[in-house]
Structures are given as structure tokens and as C-alpha cells.
Structure 1
Amino acid sequence: MKSIVIQKPNALLIEERPLPAPAAGEVRVKISLAGICGSDSHIYRGHNPFAKYPRVIGHEFFGVIDAPGEGVEAGRLGQRVSVDPVISCGHCWPCSVGKPNVCTSLMVLGVHRDGGFSEYAVVPAKNAWTIPDAIPDRHAVMVEPFTIAANVTGHAQPTDQDIALIYGAGPMGLVTVQALKGVYKVKQVIVVDRIDERLEMAKRSGADWTFNNAEQSLQAALEEKGIKPTLIVDAACHPTILQEAITLASPGGRIVLMGFSSEPSQVAQQGITGKELSIFSSRLNANKFPVVIDWLEKGLIDPDKLITHSFDYHHVTDAIELFEKDQRQCCKVLLTFGQ
């Protein structure tokens, strides 16, 4: 089989590898589609401190089970599946309180263990979620990105009375817009970014108001309109954002941090306790695949609004470079395998 392998930073090869056999409790998936994420680019460029090389990247992928391992129901053969990349032990303290995404022995497919940028992948059977026939392949491959939004909203518990502010109109900001508007019917969603084309994507995903803060003050604009956001989601993750979010938030509001920066953020505690703000962080997803599959079945979200490009996997280098360089026109890029 052919696999996309990052041998070391900035060294990508399409390599011939032996067809893997699933171990007990595993299934082998014949990959149809995979999505490119920023973390794939970071591993390729050597910017992910968790990655071990060589590595088959890819943690957003969809395909068909073509070999069940020992102990796996034979009826799973031929099932269309989307794969949860979060592999957890199931018995440590985080797992016991419903946080397998921060398991003490966490393994993430495509980061710590070979992922889905390959013609075939072996994964734990419990991580291969069956996709209903009504959900098309190109939506099924987008389940994982939307689980990031499901995890965020699981923390924040939005209501239809919320006024939400999202920093960043990249893929993670946009899936969150769709979840807030399509699933939770949030009263108002405001998106701030510095790229006008990305703000247009936010509008297509349901944002009520977009704001380019490259040259104008977001704080002044919100004050002029008398808006105090009750829910703020940081999908941009610049170290200056947290203090601004604390300043802008309504008393009793919630702030969710979606990503991370290694640079410190300076914050005044008084702003947090004075308003009794709740600050959450969100990493990967905690058993959110069935949640998103349900959203797709009910038509509450639309992955097509995010998918802008598709490449045969042989052109993966071109696909990653487009993803990295064209933030104005490019949002979600899919790789096709064996179609």
C-alpha cells in the first residue's frame, strides 16, 4: 500500500509499505478520503512538539472496514466509518470523568501513531464510527473537525439567548459558527478576523456580524453597539486575546480557549473574578463522534460550506502548500484515496 510519510521535518515521501493486519480489537480501514488540518502542516514543518518521526500523518479520515481483527464482529466488514483519532486507556482519572481526550497515556492517530494519509489504516474498532447511508462520503470525512466544535459547545452549554464572539475564521472558528447557529440557535454570532475573505466564509457559515480588527478596535465597535458577549471562543489563540476577551465579556460570561500558544498571556485576575467569568479550555474531542453524526443526520450543519479544494493524494505536497499559503481562498482541503 502507499502511505504519505513525514520522514523528518520538511521531508515528505509517498512510500510503499506492507499491508497491515489488524490485531485483536482492531479493524483495517480502506481509506477513501482524508482532510488536511493545521496540525498535519505543523508535523510536516517540524512545529509539533508531540510528533515522533517517521510518521504517517492525518487524523481526519473516512473509509470502509475491509478486515476486522480477532474479537470484532464479522458484521462490521464493509461498514462505512469515520475514525476518531483519540486513543485512550479508559481507566485513568481523566478517562473515568469523561475526558478521554486528555488521557494520561493519550495517543492521537497521525501524531503519536500512524494516521490516515494512507491507502489503509489499522485502528481500534471502537474508534471506527459507523456512518449512516444518508450521509455522503465528503460529509463523513468532516466529522472530526466538527467534533472540535462539539467539544467547545459541550463545555460552554450555549443557549438561544447567548451573544457569541468568535476570534478567528479559520476552519475551527467556522465549525464553531455552524454549531452555534445551526445546532444551538444562538441569538447572535460575531466573528472577528483580519482576512476579509475568511470573514465572508464566516457569513456563509451563519455569522450574523463579522469584523476585521486589522485596523479598527473591536472593543470600540462593540461598545458603540452596546454589545457585551456572553460567550467568547478563542479559535485564533494569540496570547493577547485572552485579556481582551476578559475585558469584553459580559458579567457571568464564558470564555473557551480552543488552541494554544506557548507564549504567556498577561491577564488581570480582577477582570475574571469581578465578573465571575468561567474560563474553559478544549482539546480534541471527548466522545463527540456520535454527537456530530447526529447533527449531520438532522441537517443541522453543512460541511460543504467549508470544503474548498480536493486533491488526489499523489499531489499531497501541492495540497499542503495551498492550505498553508492561500488563507484567502482555501479553507478545508480533502485528499482522495483509491477512488
Structure 2
Amino acid sequence: MRSVVIESPDRLVIEQRPLPEPAEGEVRVKVALAGICGSDVHIWHGHNPFAKYPRVIGHEFFGTIDATGPGVDPARLGERVSVDPVVSCGHCYPCSVGRPNVCTSLQVIGVHCDGGFSDYACVPARNAWHIPDAISDRHATMVEPFTIAANITAQLKPTPDDIALIYGAGPMGLTVIQALKGVYGVKQVIVADRIAERLVMATNNGADKVVDNSHQSLEDILNKAGIRPTLIVDAACHPSILQQAINLASPAARIGIMGFSGEPCTITQQSLTSKEISLFSSRLNSNRFPDVISWMAQGKVDPEKLITHCLPLEEVQAALTLFATDQRTCCKVLLQMHN
């Protein structure tokens, strides 16, 4: 079978590997489609501190179960599944309180262990989630990206009366827009970005107001409009954003942080505690696959609005480069494995 392997930073090969056999408690997935994420690009270029090499990348993927390991019901053969990349121990403190995404021995498929940019992948059976016929293959591949939005919004608990501000109209920001509008019914969602084309995408995904803050002050624009956001999501992931978000926020607001920057971030306690602002951080997802599958089945979110490109596995390097460099026309890139 073909596997996309990052042998070491900046060294990507498509390698022929033996067909894997599922171990106890595992299923083998014949991968149909896989999505490209920024973390895949970071692993390729050696910028992901969690990755181990060599590594088959890819943590957003969909396919069909074609083999089952010992202890797995063989009736699952032929089942259409999307794979949750979060592999947890189930017994540490985070797991015991329903947060397996920060398990003390966390393994992420495609980062710590081999992922879905391959013709076949073996994964724990409990991580392979059944996809109903009402959800297309393309949309099923997008379940994992939407779980990122599901995770942060579950913490922030949006209400229809919230005034939401989202920094960043990349894939993460767009999924959050759709969740806020389609799932939680938030009446006012404002999106700030520095790329005009991304703001068009934000509008197409449901944003009520967009702000190009490349040459104008977001603070001035919101202040002139008398807008004090009650819910803010940083999906742009720059360390300078948090203090501005605190300054802009309404008293008693909630702020969600999705970034992984290692750069220092300076905030004042006074600006935070004087408004009694709640801060939330979010990593991956904590058992949000059933939520997102339900959202898609009910038509509450539309993954098609994010998918801009689909390329064959053989063109993976071009696909990764496209995703990394073309922020104006490219949003979500899918890799086609099997038909």
C-alpha cells in the first residue's frame, strides 16, 4: 500500500508499505479521503514539537472498515467511518473527568503514531465512528475539523443573545462561525481577518459582520459601533491577540484560546479580573464526534462551504504546499485515496 511518510523534517516520500493487520481491539480502515491540516504542514517542516519521525501524517480521514482485529465485532466490516485521532488511556485524571484530549499519555493519530495519509490505516475500534448514509464521503472527512469547533463552543456555552467575535477566518474560524450560527443560533457573529478573500469566506459561512483589520483598528471599529463582545474566540492564534481581546470584551465575557504558540503572551491581571472574564483553552476534541455527526446529519453545518480543493494522493506535496501558501483561494484540501 502507499503511505505518505515524513522521514525527517522537510523530507516527504510516498512509500510502499505492507498491508497492516489490525491488532486486538483495532479495525483496519480502507481510507477514501483525508483532509490536510496546518499541523500536517508543521510536521513536514519540523515545526510540530509533538511529532515523532518517521511519521505517516494525517489525522482527518474517512473510509470503510475492511478488517477487524480480535475482540471487535466482525459485523462492523463494510461500515463507513470517520476516525477520531485522540487515543487516550481512559483512567488518568483528565480521562476520568471527560477530557481525554489532554490525557497524560495522549497519542494523536498522525502525530505520535501513524495516520491516515495512507491507503489503509489500523486504528482503535472505539475511535472509528459510524457515518450514516445521509452524510457524504466528502463531508464525513470534515467531521474532525468540526470537532475542534464543537470542543471550544461546548466550553464557551454560546447563547443566541451573545455578541461573538472571532479572530481569524481560516478553517478553524469558519467551523466556529458555522457552529455558532447553525447549532447555537447566535444572532451576531463578527469576524476579523487581514485577508479580504478570507472575509468573503467568513460571510459565506454565516458571519454577520466582517472586519479587515490589516489597515484599520478593530478596537476603533467596535467602539464606534458600540459593540462589546460577550464571547470571543481566538482562531488566529497569535500571542498578541489575547490582551486586545480582553480589552474589547464586555464584562463577564468568555474568551476561548485555540493557539499553540510558544511565544510569551503578556496580559494584565487588572484587565482580566476587573471584568471577571472567563478564559478557556481548547485542544483537539473530547469525544465530540457524535455531536458533529449529529450536526451534519441534521444539516446544522455545511462542510462543503470549506472544501476548495481535492487532489489525488500522488500530488500530496503540491496539496500541502497549496494549503500552506494560498490563503486567498484555498481553505480545505482533501486527498483522494480510494474511490
Secondary structure, in 3 states, of the residue corresponding to 1:155? helix
Secondary structure, in 3 states, of the residue corresponding to 1:294? helix
RMSD across aligned C-alpha pairs, in angstroms? 0.4
1:90-147 alpha-carbon deviations (Å, 9 max, x no partner): 0000000010000000000000000000000000000000000110000000000000
Q: Which residue of 1 aligns with 2:76?
A: 76
Q: Which residue of 2 aligns with 1:9?
A: 9
Residues 79-88 or 231-240, more deviating: 231-240
Counterparts of 1:286-301 in structure 2, within 5 Å, are 286-301=286-301
Secondary structure, in 3 states, of the residue corresponding to 1:275? coil
1:40-67 alpha-carbon deviations (Å, 9 max, x no partner): 0000010001111100000000000000
For 1:259 and 1:146, locate their aligned partners in 2 and report how far apart those are by CA, in whole Å.
16
For 2:308 and 2:284, locate their aligned partners in 1 and report how far apart those are by CA, in whole Å.
23
Q: Which residue of 2 aligns with 1:278?
A: 278
For 1:307 and 1:259, locate their aligned partners in 2 and report how far apart those are by CA, in whole Å.
22
Q: Please tell me the residue identity of whatever aligns with 1:141.
A: T
Q: Which residue of 1 aligns with 2:325?
A: 325
Counterparts of 1:118-133 in structure 2, within 5 Å, are 118-133=118-133
Q: Which residue of 2 aligns with 1:56?
A: 56
Q: Please tell me the residue identity of whatever aligns with 2:160.
A: D
Q: Which residue of 2 aligns with 1:164?
A: 164
Once the two structures are TM-superposed, the CA of residue 175 in structure 1 deviates from its matched residue by: 0.3
Q: Which residue of 1 aligns with 2:217?
A: 217
Q: Which residue of 1 aligns with 2:199?
A: 199
Secondary structure, in 3 states, of the residue corresponding to 2:166? strand
Q: Please tell me the residue identity of whatever aligns with 1:123.
A: V
For 1:296 and 1:338, locate their aligned partners in 2 and report how far apart those are by CA, in whole Å.
23
Q: Please tell me the residue identity of whatever aligns with 1:261.
A: S
Once the two structures are TM-superposed, the CA of residue 297 in structure 1 deviates from its matched residue by: 0.6
Q: Establish whether residue 246 from structure 1 lines up as the match of residue 246 from structure 2.
A: yes
Q: Please tell me the residue identity of whatever aligns with 2:322.
A: L
Q: Which residue of 2 aligns with 1:338?
A: 338
Q: Please tell me the residue identity of whatever aligns with 1:94.
A: P
Count of matched residue pairs? 339
Secondary structure, in 3 states, of the residue corresponding to 1:135? coil
Secondary structure, in 3 states, of the residue corresponding to 1:256? strand
Q: Establish whether residue 227 from structure 1 lines up as the match of residue 223 from structure 2.
A: no
Work out whether residues 135 and 297 of structure 2, in 8 Å CA contact, stay in contact via their aligned partners in 1.
yes
Secondary structure, in 3 states, of the residue corresponding to 1:81? strand
For 1:263 and 1:14, locate their aligned partners in 2 and report how far apart those are by CA, in whole Å.
34
For 1:58 and 1:95, locate their aligned partners in 2 and report how far apart those are by CA, in whole Å.
24
Secondary structure, in 3 states, of the residue corresponding to 2:146? helix
Counterparts of 1:30-109 in structure 2, within 5 Å, are 30-109=30-109
Q: Please tell me the residue identity of whatever aligns with 1:80.
A: R
For 1:136 and 1:58, locate their aligned partners in 2 and report how far apart those are by CA, in whole Å.
20
Structure-2-length-normalised TM-score: 1.00
Counterparts of 1:147-158 in structure 2, within 5 Å, are 147-158=147-158
1:149-186 alpha-carbon deviations (Å, 9 max, x no partner): 00010100000000000000000000000000011010
Q: Tell me, which stretches of 5 or more residues in structure 1 are unaligned?
A: none
For 1:266 and 1:308, locate their aligned partners in 2 and report how far apart those are by CA, in whole Å.
37
Q: Which residue of 1 aligns with 2:267?
A: 267
For 2:202 and 2:36, locate their aligned partners in 1 and report how far apart those are by CA, in whole Å.
19
For 2:337 and 2:309, locate their aligned partners in 1 and report how far apart those are by CA, in whole Å.
15
1:68-102 alpha-carbon deviations (Å, 9 max, x no partner): 11010111000000000000000000000010000
Q: Please tell me the residue identity of whatever aligns with 2:107.
A: M
For 1:190 and 1:171, locate their aligned partners in 2 and report how far apart those are by CA, in whole Å.
16
Once the two structures are TM-superposed, the CA of residue 239 in structure 1 deviates from its matched residue by: 1.0
For 1:256 and 1:98, locate their aligned partners in 2 and report how far apart those are by CA, in whole Å.
19
For 1:79 and 1:149, locate their aligned partners in 2 and report how far apart those are by CA, in whole Å.
26
Secondary structure, in 3 states, of the residue corresponding to 2:75? helix
Once the two structures are TM-superposed, the CA of residue 305 in structure 1 deviates from its matched residue by: 0.3
Structure-1-length-normalised TM-score: 1.00
Q: Establish whether residue 143 from structure 1 lines up as the match of residue 157 from structure 2.
A: no
